[in-house]
Structure 1
Amino acid sequence: MIRKLLIRDLTLRDGQQSAFATRMSQKQIDRVLPFYKEAGFYAMEIWGGAVPDSIMRYLEEDPWERLEKIKVAVGDASKLAALSRGRNLFGYNPYPDKLIKGFCRNSIESGLDIMRIFDALNDVENIKSTVRYVKRFGGMADCAVCYTIDPYHSAVERIVAALHGHPLHKPVFTNEYFLNKALQMVALGADMITIKDMSGLIPPGRSAEMVRLFKKHLKVPVDFHTHCTPGYGLASVLAAIVNGVDIVDTNIWYFAGGTAAPAVELVYVFCKKMGIELDINMEAIARINAHLLDIRKELSAFDMAKQLPKPFNPLTDRIPNEIDRFFNDAIDAARKDKEDDLLLFCRAIEEYFDFPEPDELVKKAQIPGGMYTNMVAQLKQLGQSDLLEKAMSLIPRVRMDAGLPPLVTPTSQIIGAQAVSCALDQLKGRPMYSNPSNQFIALVKGEYGKTPVPVDPEFRLKITGSRDEVPYDPSDYEMQENPLVEEMETRLAENEKEILLLELFPMMAHNFLSKKKHVHVTT
């Protein structure tokens, strides 16, 4: 029996968000949609994440219209998918069930098929409501386990900590930890489980172990998602495929590699050699790619890599023998769990095609690329760029103090900003945490959910004024003000969809709706 591998295309959401700061306009998307209808991807991720905020903020476009227009163009040819941050939805704060319910219902009514749901703390309680409502309204719940790693501590740091009576913790983020989270999600009703490596930090050996473990114990399909930033992406995707993963996330050629996911064209070459059927139309994908080249040039001001890969169409272009041999050697290394060889061969393939080199700073720092660039920008703004190394060195301590949260939006930004603040405290001779941010206080208090490691009550007292954990209380939520429009006898947000935008993105939605309707509002 021929094995089939499903492909989730990320190009129109995570791809353009990772590589081009979510600046792809509806007009640009419209140019490729006819070919997407023919491409035959299992799913297309096109919404959620930063899209609703960014397209209002920068493009003055309606997020609901984007979803609805793509649905009209693609129909049922591919499932449409979105990314949700669980109780945080597409924003950065926890929201009550009535808003989660409204977003899920309107998303599915507007054409969404799959909601990928994750929580920044891997707190399964925080995804319960979204899973329930997505399934109630006829969607599929794709529950994502956020991959992260334990902080690195040198042998000297471990000895010093032990001598002071504060031995460093044993590893928390084991394969069993991730499997346990996945099993809890399946018990909630997850229709599939995604291993979500938002930072590209999962090496191929770990990818292989986790896929084998998940396939052994889970009765639902397993999806693998990673990025290429530190150089593991292609090798880790190949390791996942060799070890039986059901779905992999990819981008189309000119939107692939670098800070984004690996290219579907390279996955196609690997799968053809292994006799794995992808069931996608590579001719249609090549037509999409021709338009993506033009669109990438149009987005050059936001291009993270500034480096185009060589043109390549696996249906028509011959791969030189020495490079073709690297594909065969990579497959052999993946099958034999030879991680170093696998990385070597995949990197050689990427070099040949001129994909960006691994980001060694991100690899060494073991933090997401976006978190690193945010810290650099924050210090530059403060005129303290020389403090970067010190701030980076404080991340493990700040993270441990806060309960060891995974580093993914929004916790990555919270920890990074607080590490910068602590570095400034030390520079000025003040105690660390002299200026905790409101978000850091909320994290330590417990408002974002349960952290992987309990926060020390004495530290919580220092930061929040109380030893007690205080979880998020939805009864305290106050709806945003919906101002009166002067020229019309109505409110700025006239329907449920507009009200939902106003709730999640108060300033952005206020500005967007005002410009859209060409109105002045009064409070």
Structure 2
Amino acid sequence: RIFDALNDIENMKSSIRFVKEAGGLADCAVCYTVDPKFSGGEKLKAFLSGKRLPSDIFNIRYFVEKAKALEALGADMITIKDMAGLIDPHRSASLIKALKSEVGVPIDLHTHCTPGYGVASILAAMVNGADIVDTAILSFSGGPAAPAYEIIRLFADKLGLDTGIDNAAVAKIDRTLREIRGELAAYDQYKRMPPEVDLSKDSLSSELNRLFDDALEYTVGGKLDKALDLCRKIEAAYNYPEPDEIVQKAQIPGGMYTNMMAQLKEAKLEQHLEEVLKAVPQVRLDAGVPPLVTPTSQIVGVQAVNYVVSKTKGEDGYANVSKNFAELVKGSYGKTPWPVDPDFRLKICGSREEIPYDTSNYKKQPNPGLPEAGGSLLALDEKEALLLELFPSVAEKFLRGRRVAEWKREHPEGTIATTAPTVEAEPETFSPTLLQNCEIPAFSSFAADLPADYQVNDGHDEEYWIYAVENAQ
């Protein structure tokens, strides 16, 4: 799956080409998002100052045109990647219908259940012609995850759609996942395990079956609000977490909200959460209204916290600007959906003009031999080389420690390491585009092995990501 945080097609071209050349299937994603909401006071202030607030940027045409552009580049399928779960059933139905009428490759909908739309929106997509929908196995579904396969499979069966999936195999996988989730109990935020379901032999109660039938009937008939109510009753029957109203109203991904809370707690400023949530639309606007997906969700979230903290000190909201926010405003990450105000860019970056990242300036990170580890290279394989490229400053220390530890295990007698040739270090550089087309593993996948007091304070905790990449399967 290939995506760009800004939906900047230029940033995706190389990845698509390389996947196609290698014989892979290019699943090209368009990140789903919504326009920022502004209060009446903010609208009046903008009007009086002669500034235009964005409206109707992320309409149906926006997503259709992005999908058509990706299809023209060779996309084998198009995924609408709704990382925050913000697509409601009405928008899901309209968008899928439009995509199916104008795009020739298969259409996939990926969404989450955090705000409570997940099941209903997936059902609306299925009814309106989606070729693929993303799900999670029941024990790890709902809440911030995708809708349950088991629930969606029941709807698929009622629609006469053949998934080709072995339900007995799914039930076996689910039993194993339940054991794993039990092992992660100390890190389980929700503590709500769904009931065990085996679709190869279990049947619905008459009451639950009626809920499924009615939800489907309402969806087919276009009565999507009623369908949403029934889908939430179905979710409750499977012990889903309640819809997160804070995330729903703030229109931000759940992980972004969690990280902002962690940042405020660290500064002992939790009482300012509401102010931070109100600052998000303004900070997002100032940055060019990027979709809130990795890494832009964390860049905007961290800067919104900085904005409020600076204000509490009587300073300008942008007195403390993160490097990543400055790079986003500068243009290093690519074209933003909404133009950044040149005066604001001058204030943050010292230049009124957009300055894209110049790939010709990129230099590969040095991979020296280590005298203290018998001359071993710092990075020994492709995975370690990738770590070194993505997180040079932290990875260098991490990999050096690993090589030295390996040397000591192999030479317990304390054999003196041989001298290795010195490699002149090249200037450390950072390429934002390296991260933009990567799927990053979820924190919960590795939480069991981390120290009990480990905290991910923002979206760019390099030591965590190194741990994550090293342990990815």
Unaligned runs of 5+ in 2: 409-416, 423-473
1:511 maps onto 2:398 in alignment: yes
CA–CA distance in structure 1, aligned partners of residues 160 and 180 of structure 2 = 33
Distance in 1 separating the partners of 2:244 and 2:368: 47
After TM superposition, the structure 1 = structure 2 runs for residues 113-124 of structure 1, keeping only pairs within 5 Å, are 116-124=1-9
Residue 508 of structure 1, CA deviation: 4.2
1:341 equivalenced with 2:229 (yes/no): no
Report whether the alignment pairs 1:493 with 2:391.
no
Output aligned runs, 1:400-479, within 5 Å: 400-479=285-364
State the partner residue of 1:7.
Answer: none
| C-alpha separation in 1, matches of 2:361 and 2:341 | 26
Cα distance, 1:306 vs. partner?
A: 1.5
CA contact (8 A) 2:35 2:54 kept: no
Following superposition, the deviation at residue 159 of structure 1 comes to 3.3
Q: Distance in 1 between the 2:282 and 2:39 partners?
A: 13
Which 10-residue stretch deviates more, 490-499 or 237-246?
A: 490-499
Q: C-alpha separation between the residues in 1 aligned to 2:55 and 2:235?
A: 36
Q: Displacement, 1:315?
A: 2.7
Cα distance in 2 for partners of 1:427, 1:497 equals 43
Aligned partner of 2:82 in structure 1 is 197
Give TM-score, length-normalised by structure 2. Answer: 0.83
SS at match of 1:519: helix
SS at match of 1:439: helix
- Runs of at least 4 residues off by over 4 Å: 520-523
Match of 2:106 in 1: 221
2:69 to 184, 195, 209: 184
Could you tell me how far apart the structure 2 residues matched to 1:519 and 1:473 are? 39
Aligned to 2:153: 268
**2:171 equivalent to 1:289:** no
What is the Cα deviation at residue 179 of structure 1? 0.7
Structure 1: runs of 5+ lacking an equivalent: 1-115
Between the aligned partners of 1:167 and 1:308, the Cα distance in structure 2 is 47
RMSD: 1.8
How far the C-alpha of 1:511 sits from its partner, in A, is: 2.1
Contact 1:309 1:354 in 2 (8 A): yes
* CA positional deviation for 1:367: 0.3
In 1: Cα distance, 2:45 partner to 2:348 partner: 25
**Alpha-carbon displacement from aligned partner over 1:386-414 (angstroms, at most 9, x marks no partner):** 11111110111111111111100111111
Q: Give 1:299 shift.
A: 1.7
- Given that 2:92 and 2:124 are in contact with CA atoms closer than 8 Å, whether structure 1 keeps it comes out as yes
Question: Once the 2 structures are TM-superposed, how far is the Cα of residue 430 of structure 1 from its aligned partner?
Answer: 1.1
Quote the offset at 1:496 in angstroms.
4.2
Give the TM-score taking structure 1 as reference length: 0.75
Bigger radius of gyration: 2
2:216 maps to 331
Q: State the partner residue of 2:53.
A: 168
Structure 1, residues 162-200: CA drift from partner, whole Å, max 9, x if none? Answer: 233224223100010011111111111111000000000
Q: 1:64 is matched with which residue? A: none
Q: Counterpart of 1:407 in structure 2: which amino acid?
A: L
Give the length in aligned residue pairs.
408
Would you say the 8 A contact 1:131–1:190 is kept in 2?
yes
Residue-by-residue CA offset, 1:457-497 (whole Å, 9 max, x unaligned): 11110110111110011122232232323343331223444
CA distance in 2, matches of 1:161, 1:336: 41
**In 2, distance between residues paired with 1:226 and 1:510?**
37
How far 1:512 moved relative to its partner?
Answer: 5.2
Query: Equivalent residue of 1:309, what SS?
Result: coil
Q: Map of 1:43-442 to 2, 5 A cutoff?
A: 116-442=1-327
Tell me the distance in 2 between the aligned counterparts of 1:196 and 1:301.
30
d(CA) in 1 for partners of 2:376, 2:94? 57
Whether contact under 8 Å (1:204, 1:239) holds in the other structure is yes
What SS does the aligned partner of 1:316 have? coil
Residue 321 of structure 1 aligns to which amino acid in structure 2?
Answer: S
Cα distance in 1 between the residues matched to 2:4 and 2:132: 21
Q: Write the distance in 2 (CA, Å) between the matches of 1:431 and 1:175.
A: 37
| CA deviation string 1:76-132 (max 9, x = no partner) | xxxxxxxxxxxxxxxxxxxxxxxxxxxxxxxxxxxxxxxx00000010000111001
Corresponding letter in the other structure for 2:398: N
Distance 1:311 1:499 in 2: 42
Q: Aligned letter for 1:471?
A: P
Check conservation: 1:492, 1:514, Cα contact below 8 A.
Answer: no
Contact 1:221 1:247 in 2 (8 A): yes
- Aligned 8 A contact 2:35 2:55 in 1: no
Counterpart Cα distance in 2 of 1:154 and 1:420: 19
Query: Conserved in 2, the CA contact under 8 Å of 1:376 and 1:388?
Result: yes
What does the per-residue CA deviation read over 1:220-257, in whole Å, with 9 as the maximum and x for residues that have no partner?
A: 01111000111000111101001110011111111111
In 2, distance between residues paired with 1:141 and 1:318? Answer: 38
The question of whether the paired residues in 2 share the 8 Å contact of 1:502 and 1:510 is answered with: no
Indicate conservation of the 8 Å contact 2:378/2:396, yes or no: no
Q: Residue 250 of structure 1 aligns to a residue in which SS? A: coil
| Post-superposition offset of 1:338 | 1.6
Distance (whole Å) between structure 2 residues aligned to residue 468 and residue 311 of structure 1: 57
Matching residue's letter, 1:461: L
Over 3 Å counting, the alpha-carbon distance change for 1:487 and 1:394 in structure 2 is closer
